[in-house]
Chains A and B, each alone.
Chain A
Amino acid sequence: MKRIGVFVCWCGSNIASTVDVGRVVEEAGKLPGVVHAEDYKYLCSDPGQNIVQKAIEDYSLDAVVISACTPSLHEPTFRKAVEMKGMNPYQCEIANIREQCSWVHEDKEAATEKAIKIIRSIVEKVRRNESLEPITAPLTKRALVIGAGISGIQAALDIANSGYEVLLVEKQPSIGGHMAQLSETFPTLDCSQCILTPKMVEVSRHPKIRLLTYSEVLEISGFLGNFNVKILKKPRYVDETLCNSCGECSEVCPVVVPNEFERGLSSRHAIYVPFPQAVPSVYTLDAEACLGLFPLACEKCSKVCETNAINYDMEPEIIEETVGAVVVATGYDLYPIDEIKEYGNGKIPDVIDGLHFERLLSASGPTEGVVRRPSDHKIPKEVVFVQCAGSRDTERGKPYCSKICCMYTAKHAMLYKHKVPDGQAYIFYIDVRAGGKGYEEFYQRGIEEDGTVYLRGKVSRIFQDGDKVIVWGSDTLTGKKIEIAADMVVLAAPIVPCEGSDDLARRLKIQTDANGFLSEVHPKLRPVESITAGFFLAGAGQAPKDIPEAVAQASGAASKVVALFANDVVEHDPMIVGVTEDMCSGCGVCVGVCPFGARELDTERKKVKVLEVLCEGCGACSAACPTGAAQQRNLNDEQLTSMVGATLAEALEGSDS
């Protein structure tokens, strides 16, 4: 019989105040197979672990039961400790007598009885535990990064600079994301494009980065270390290797459509580059805007192209690749202001959103950096900025804080005043949230040096009156109703996950939260990992964040990928559900219930086969299997029955008598 040691933790008073630890030790010592039982104030401490390790030697223990807090906290600690003494880590089990006992009960006597039962059942389990070895699988040391905004760029560069190959996929014709649209960045007011474009160039020149723009990830199958990726490369009808970006095609193109990069404030042709510093510096023919490709209606562009780069017969291409890890950096969009009905319903030309205003401020923007309002191109002399225009609004907008608006609005007002010295900026706010290095000072500077007027209150309605935009609001500090006849209004609309990201998340089988942002494993301790193993998160697709935070998270995600790639194989938890072939009838019920695709039916042999690395040990198949052939390792039917028996021993005896 196995020689088992039971160790009972006080957890200070967390356990000891509700559970009579002395009595538990006494009772545990009497259990079958238990050769040693003792207690300690903090078992997870170094001295506590030493006690366990010493007992393994002194009593020649084969297995250990740690009676303490939840296994989700210290199971790895103790498994590591016993492993150091040569014990198989799967011979160490945790009996949770804190979360499931001492914390939820008040009656000390009853809690003590319950703790004894919990330990008794775990002792029964561990008596039948097998020694297991981790399952290993090969590891492809190549990463996929989805989205090439600043987060995706940073993650791709960090991974590539560590020596691993990166596949960087961007759905737009150019990389750069929203950061390429920004004018200057808070709190230092350095030019956004000036700090971004060197990184864009580095990406395009990096020997380890394969850049796929105008492309979308269709599907990812496989598992951590071995993902099969299917990517759609949309036809841009311009050969990337031939185009010298001379721009003559665009000059002759007769089609004029709103320019998305300029948020519709100016126009572009059907064949275009989004902005001068685009990477790759290649023209793209927008097939939807073009007068016609099937059949060809115009052909003006191909006639002027000196390098014959334009190819109207270009087909969509499916690219398949194997990668070991995926960084999802899908980014954000602004909530459309035409959904904010009380603020003009999107129908007032001089009510714009924050990204519009960035383009109006930008030296490379449609007004070349002169702030002109969209309706009549006049320079606005009174501009109202509305923060939380839809954020922190549980009834009609988004319940969360979009986080970056306080700072970018402070910046907008400041830059506006620099460009229009005789203008006046008003900011309606609920709270000013300026947490961040240099942020509070920046916001104060706006008030003190640039005369930004902050009005604490919500705006109730915005409407057009002649050539003015009337803003009705309240100043909750004075209790007065405020009406401002403004020349232009800038709404800080909510940050929402990038369009199509929920659809992508479904295809990738990764999780999103109630607002559609990508979910991390743990909000504090594992903020860059997705719940699905092998997927890492970076940037505003996970939650609203500014550039420094997005870059930091991207580097964090990259370091996780690099840490993974430092291994030669991927290790997988061996607590999987196997198949006892003699008992398997080949009914295939388990194949249907497996959420991970880990089970396959061999129709010839009429037996189920397990793809061990895919199995997460959830036990769904085990419950569904009609013959008992699907047995979970170290939690098989025999163990479960004996654990239930141990828990109910007194009750069963009672019913017998």
Chain B
Amino acid sequence: MEIAYFPGCTLRTKAIGFDNSVRDTAKVFGYDLVEVPDWTCCGATFNLSVDNVMALAPPIRILANARKLGNEVITVCSGCYNVLKRANYTVRNDSEKLAKITDFIEMEYDGDVEVIHYLEFLRDRVGYETIKTNIKRNLEGLKVVPYYGCQLLRPYDEIQLDDPEAPTILDEVLDAMGCTVVDFPHKAECCGNFLSVCTDLTPEGRQAVGEEAATAVSECSFTILDAAARAGADLVALSCPLCLYNLDVAQDQIEKIHFGFRKMPIVYFSQLLAIALGLDTDKYALDSEHHFVDPSAVVRSVAKE
């Protein structure tokens, strides 16, 4: 069965492993993810200004294009999901704005496309039982903390995916794929990425932006990673390229400040799903080229046939 799919920019570059693993795992369950024709960047952040018509034009254009393939579109990057879902919510509740945008993009759209996160798809469409019956590799003992971040859950009224304070959907999906899910208190804490996108966390960059801003970001990440480590986790699974970058890149710096800090690989949940479903682990960018903290050792430890 074919379903419209919006990968988003990051998934075609940095997060290529995320993209591949989503497409391939969907295929295992019998779904073909078809790219939305002529897609562009969604805007990356939801614009909160009162007159955000211009900012809404790209996501609505994406949805209008998705409409050509059906009345639903799957996306997986938390940022894209947040922007598409909120843009959709906005125009569904503001016909004037919708008319202005459709006029501007010269396309028809009436708000009737459902934006579905891949986690939601796995829960509601594929079903946990189907995931379990397709497991080829045993991930039991791989201690994973589910990390949701902000964009996947908030604001609740507009997103309504899961409880924003005590979410469970990622826990359930990881559990269905056989991981040992480790509970920890900072599942839905902010990783600080909005600060990190306007700073530069590479060693050269740090000097340019100043230590204070850089430290603020790394402290956010430290709180999360430290709690995960103390809960006994081997790695963090998430669905947001920005969170991954932030938690990943900060670890060098954290190690310098916090004595005894243990580095922890950060991966996308779908990469783990691909492993669990017995797919070729080399295909999903689980390497030092795409990660600051190399996940390959952990992957190798569980990817035995």
Contact = CB atoms under 8 A, between A and B. Distances in A.
A342 B165 contact: yes
Interface in A323-361: 341-342, 345
Most chain A beta-carbon contacts within 10 A, residue among B164, B166, B227: B166
A70 to B, nearest CB: 39
Interface in A380-415: 396
Nearest to B167: A341
Contacts of B210: none
Contacts of B165: 341-342, 345, 396
Contacts of B163: 341
Contacts of B166: 341-342, 345
Interface in B180-235: 185-186, 189, 227, 230
A464 interface: yes
A345 B165 CA distance: 8
Nearest to A348: B185
A461 interface: yes
Contacts of A345: 165-166
Interface string B148-189: 000000000000000111100000000000000000011001
Nearest to A463: B185
5 contacts: A341-B163, A341-B166, A342-B165, A465-B185, A465-B230
A470 B185 CA distance: 10
Contacts of A463: 185-186
B35 to A, nearest CB: 36
Nearest to A466: B230
Contacts of A465: 185, 227, 230
Chain A facing B: main interface SS: strand
Contacts of B186: 463
A439 B97 CA distance: 53
**6 shortest interchain CB distances as A-B pairs:** A463-B185, A341-B165, A341-B166, A342-B165, A345-B166, A341-B163
A464 B183 CA distance: 11
Interface in A444-499: 461, 463-465, 470
B69 to A, nearest CB: 36
A465 B229 CA distance: 12
B155 to A, nearest CB: 9
Interface of A: 341-342, 345, 396, 461, 463-465, 470
Contacts of A470: 185
Nearest to A345: B166
Given A341-B166, A342-B166, A464-B185, 13 more contacts: A341-B163, A341-B165, A342-B165, A345-B165, A345-B166, A396-B165, A461-B185, A461-B189, A463-B186, A465-B185, A465-B227, A465-B230, A470-B185
A345 B183 CA distance: 12
A427 B35 CA distance: 54
A396 B153 CA distance: 14
Contacts of A341: 163-166
B204 to A, nearest CB: 30
Nearest to B164: A341
Contacts of B230: 465
A136 to B, nearest CB: 55
A396 B165 CA distance: 10
Contacts of A461: 185, 189
A470 B227 CA distance: 12
Contacts of B164: 341
A543 B144 CA distance: 46
Most chain A beta-carbon contacts within 10 A, residue among B163, B164, B185, B186: B185
A345 B163 CA distance: 11
Nearest to B184: A463
A341 B163 CA distance: 8
B46 to A, nearest CB: 18
Contacts of B227: 465
A463 B186 CA distance: 9
A464 B227 CA distance: 10
Contacts of A396: 165
Contacts of B185: 461, 463-465, 470
B74 to A, nearest CB: 27
A390 to B, nearest CB: 12
A117 B165 CA distance: 61
Nearest to B186: A463
B134 to A, nearest CB: 31
A396 to B, nearest CB: 8
B147 to A, nearest CB: 15
B212 to A, nearest CB: 16
A345 B167 CA distance: 10
B9 to A, nearest CB: 32
A18 B24 CA distance: 78
A465 B183 CA distance: 12
B166 to A, nearest CB: 4
A156 B230 CA distance: 58
Contacts of A342: 165-166
A540 B189 CA distance: 37
B189 to A, nearest CB: 8
A465 B223 CA distance: 12
A396 B157 CA distance: 10
A465 B227 CA distance: 8
Nearest to B185: A463
A464 B163 CA distance: 19
B198 to A, nearest CB: 21
B255 to A, nearest CB: 21
A341 B164 CA distance: 8
A345 B168 CA distance: 12
A464 B184 CA distance: 9
Most chain A beta-carbon contacts within 10 A, residue among B163, B165, B189, B227: B165
A342 B163 CA distance: 10
Contacts of A464: 185
A470 to B, nearest CB: 8
A464 B230 CA distance: 12
B305 to A, nearest CB: 38
A407 B189 CA distance: 33
A34 B185 CA distance: 81
B251 to A, nearest CB: 21
Nearest to A343: B165
Interface in B246-284: none
Contacts of B189: 461
A301 B69 CA distance: 70
A509 to B, nearest CB: 34
A489 to B, nearest CB: 13
Interface in B67-88: none
A288 to B, nearest CB: 29
B56 to A, nearest CB: 24
A461 B223 CA distance: 13
A499 to B, nearest CB: 22
B31 to A, nearest CB: 32
A348 to B, nearest CB: 9
A372 B230 CA distance: 27
Nearest to B183: A347
A484 to B, nearest CB: 15
B176 to A, nearest CB: 21
B194 to A, nearest CB: 17
A72 to B, nearest CB: 39
A14 B163 CA distance: 53
A470 B230 CA distance: 14
A7 B165 CA distance: 65
A388 to B, nearest CB: 16
A470 B186 CA distance: 12
Interface in B100-142: none
A535 B211 CA distance: 69
A396 B166 CA distance: 13
A22 B186 CA distance: 75
